[in-house]
Structure 1
């Protein structure tokens, strides 16, 4: 092509102009010249890069040349043709690409070919993806898993299930590998009762990260999962019930709430951790039956469970619930004190606002609030009193202390609103400035922003990034190799403590726990 004549001797800006014009025109006459420049580069990185882009553009309009290039001796041109075939989904290239996989020994080139076939997504390539599903290279395996899922290959479902089963082997469960992750996502993509039922059954996988991936997958599927999750709640063990309640809460469908209420009525939530999970879920969903159930939960005496109840009711304030709370607080007994404390610790400002209209209930709330050491809690309730703006609220505002944040900093991560509230109260009482996150990723953001913490408390199971992943990231962060980390678990998760210890956890505390137990644990490891 005349434009490329004497190209190497042209000025830099002229070379750029020529290559841009070729990219726009996709003129096949430029192909010989571009191939010559590819095989013998100019030596300027930017120009050589633009040559590849121009060649890519020309090839995109010349399928026959791409297919011929799949057998070209020049490695760079060969790889470019492989990539172009995938990028532009050239289905006529599938037979040649499939044939190339039969003799390819280099895993990097094999990955290029399989990636291209996966992007074309033609059923002709199914035998190739099935063949390499058990390849020793995890990334090649993963590419095949994704491709088979994209092609809805039901014949491979059994193998995907087997991969997840195998990942729980004693020598494998400590790490969530990419193939397990892809197998979960691909099974979720089928959205059949069979694949959903399998994922529900594997919700308490031995690896916490796999549990999180399965949880996220089920939540993304949504209401189709609800009947199977409720079935697992009915027949499962404590772990099954806790995790299925969590997922039902995140899905947020009325049928899930109705099923959980029915399960409570049947006595299937005798375990305190299970009840806690159920109340959290009902608070997220917010149906009438769920709210009635939460009102019944006001009789709970365990502090953490009661905070879950109050936290759930705080999202759905109504006159009947406020009347019940007013009556309970007026009784002035131990349960009254627990309820008032839970309302303040949970930052249930909507409940506070409604109860304050009753002088007796309002006085009880102010009495507890005036003893708070948490500037964030005081600030939120102070704003409510300012909005009420009457003589009584003005007097009560003067009773609230001015509290500054502590000089010591602590981080707590938990996806439960009530647990976060408890952590905040405990850390504040100990003189820490609390930093609260609802998942591991949000918690690690504080660290990346340069915050330094004297102690970190994290739940094991959280969405987005679980506790195990968070601990691993913290321990790989310079300067945080010895920062004390407490992991919160349930009684049934104690078998996972060895795994968490290997990841770098300093100490454990088991739910449900009383605030003083966590305070003692923090004091013990921060001396």
Structure 2
């Protein structure tokens, strides 16, 4: 006898107990009774919920019945069976699901079918995914894109490219559609030469979020992206493209990428200091001894920011050869020696500091530069290293470094994915009388706003992973206390359209790399009196 016999007349607790037993036992014999209760509910929320739970339990053990019920005229039951087919990967449901999708059905039901097919897996639905790349419903398009990427379908490349190109048109580039985001990721997953060439070509897409997605996707791809990025780093390429490609190679950290970067420096692909900076910083990020030669050559560069980038990279690669070259350059005196000493402090290159500390006058010059800094973070870093070095001289030098004083001066937030840039901002801002806070991406920067920190000025890069500068500014302008805080965006962008887009998000003004500390201070003073 069925456990559900006379169910509707039973007390509430008995009903719940019976349905629990049916759900646990998954007895197919109870299916007919459950279908009756599902299609003609008792209008008791708790009981009706348990009926669905019990029905799910029974259908999970009965693939044949689940597939048969896909043809039901009851839409609620149809949706339930569609979901069950996907959740339990009932492969025999594929023909029914495909037939259903080919008929005139509503968008929400089609989405359910596509979701179920994606969970079942296999390439039987690949034609269906291709056909829905142009669907009017974005969620359906996104689901189709994701599956075509997962299935590495090269026949869909042209359709995916069209989505990205469409988002780059004059009337659409200001917003990154979710479909564009997913199309970039799918093309990267497909990974053919045609797909990757196109993705790399869009490193400098007009929308900053698309640029970030391209960067993140290529970085995740790893070494397979290097041959395609190599083509961008050439004397004939636009400087912004070279910078973005160098950044990705630095994130990937592949040795073949290191060869590309070193070759670009050796052959002097560009005289632009922003390009040289990006190349040296990427070499430092890869952090292998092979790159030391290029980094040491970078110490000859007159640009102080490049020197900071070089020393940031060299600090993790210190060896006797590096220290010998540093002694030679600093020992020669002059402006170049002063630039290197300042950069050691700015970059907080404590390992280089330790190696040079006992080098007589050079060690004293270097310690004087540390003591002259107004940045408590610099003092803390070198104080820790002096404590590690030990001895009476180191103890005396520690006394020269003042302890941190809280709450002094105005506050500034600097946001950049480059450690050397953040180090430079700290130096410039502390010298200008600001208490600096730094963040490596927009997401980290926004967390300070969320926890209630207030700043007198914000300096942010445009292109960053995780959250770019434009998204950060847009979120800040919608946050209490940040509606009118001056925001200065630092960029290498040359396209007027990018600045116009940034102004729309709430950026007050721009400063273009390369810049001097004096230029940045002057720009800040325009907005903070």
TM-score normalized by the length of structure 2 = 0.95
For residues 61 and 195 of structure 1, the distance between their equivalents in structure 2, rounded to whole angstroms, comes to 42
* Residue 437 (str. 1) matches residue 439 (str. 2): yes
Q: 1:465, CA displacement in angstroms?
A: 1.4
Q: 1:493, CA displacement in angstroms?
A: 4.9
Equivalent residue, structure 2, for 1:24: 24
Deviation track 1:12-68 (CA, whole Å, cap 9, x = no partner) reads 655444333323222112223322333344445454333323222211222222223
Equivalent residue, structure 2, for 1:501: 503
Counterparts in 2 of 1:277 and 1:37: CA distance versus 1, 3 Å:
same
Equivalent residue, structure 2, for 1:401: 402
For residues 243 and 282 of structure 1, the distance between their equivalents in structure 2, rounded to whole angstroms, comes to 14
SS of residue in 2 equivalent to 1:370: helix
For residues 328 and 357 of structure 1, the distance between their equivalents in structure 2, rounded to whole angstroms, comes to 16
For residues 493 and 125 of structure 2, the distance between their equivalents in structure 1, rounded to whole angstroms, comes to 48
Counterparts in 2 of 1:17 and 1:407: CA distance versus 1, 3 Å:
farther
Which of 176-185 and 428-437 deviates more? 428-437
For residues 284 and 373 of structure 1, the distance between their equivalents in structure 2, rounded to whole angstroms, comes to 27
Deviation track 1:318-353 (CA, whole Å, cap 9, x = no partner) reads 111111112222233111111111111111111111
* Residue 179 (str. 1) matches residue 149 (str. 2): no
Deviation track 1:171-222 (CA, whole Å, cap 9, x = no partner) reads 1111111111111111111122222222112211111111111111111111
- Residues 38 and 76 in structure 1, CA contact (< 8 A), matched pair in contact too: no
Which of 13-22 and 83-92 deviates more? 13-22
For residues 352 and 16 of structure 2, the distance between their equivalents in structure 1, rounded to whole angstroms, comes to 67
Match among 449, 452, 461 for residue 451 of structure 2: 449
Q: 1:502, CA displacement in angstroms?
A: 1.0
Counterparts in 2 of 1:29 and 1:294: CA distance versus 1, 3 Å:
same
Equivalent residue, structure 1, for 2:129: 129
For residues 188-199 of structure 1, the aligned pairs below 5 Å read: 188-199=188-199
Q: 1:507, CA displacement in angstroms?
A: 1.4
Equivalent residue, structure 2, for 1:37: 37
Unaligned runs of 5+ in 2: none
Match among 449, 452, 472 for residue 474 of structure 2: 472
- Residues 288 and 317 in structure 2, CA contact (< 8 A), matched pair in contact too: no
- Residues 94 and 122 in structure 1, CA contact (< 8 A), matched pair in contact too: no
Counterparts in 2 of 1:91 and 1:388: CA distance versus 1, 3 Å:
same
SS of residue in 2 equivalent to 1:53: helix
Equivalent residue, structure 2, for 1:70: 70
SS of residue in 1 equivalent to 2:299: helix
Which of 71-80 and 309-318 deviates more? 71-80
For residues 431 and 5 of structure 2, the distance between their equivalents in structure 1, rounded to whole angstroms, comes to 79
For residues 475 and 373 of structure 1, the distance between their equivalents in structure 2, rounded to whole angstroms, comes to 31
Counterparts in 2 of 1:64 and 1:310: CA distance versus 1, 3 Å:
same
TM-score normalized by the length of structure 1 = 0.95
For residues 12 and 382 of structure 2, the distance between their equivalents in structure 1, rounded to whole angstroms, comes to 67
For residues 170-319 of structure 1, the aligned pairs below 5 Å read: 170-234=170-234, 235-319=236-320
SS of residue in 2 equivalent to 1:386: helix
Equivalent residue, structure 2, for 1:367: 368
Deviation track 1:221-269 (CA, whole Å, cap 9, x = no partner) reads 1112212211210142111110111111111111111121112111103
Equivalent residue, structure 1, for 2:115: 115
Deviation track 1:297-331 (CA, whole Å, cap 9, x = no partner) reads 11112121111111111121111111111222223
Which of 251-260 and 421-430 deviates more? 421-430
SS of residue in 2 equivalent to 1:525: coil
For residues 361 and 46 of structure 2, the distance between their equivalents in structure 1, rounded to whole angstroms, comes to 77
Equivalent residue, structure 2, for 1:415: 417
Give the total of aligned pairs: 527
Counterparts in 2 of 1:52 and 1:321: CA distance versus 1, 3 Å:
same
Q: 1:479, CA displacement in angstroms?
A: 3.4
Match among 458, 463, 466 for residue 465 of structure 2: 463
For residues 413 and 56 of structure 2, the distance between their equivalents in structure 1, rounded to whole angstroms, comes to 50
Aligned residues: CA RMSD: 2.0
Which of 57-66 and 2-11 deviates more? 2-11
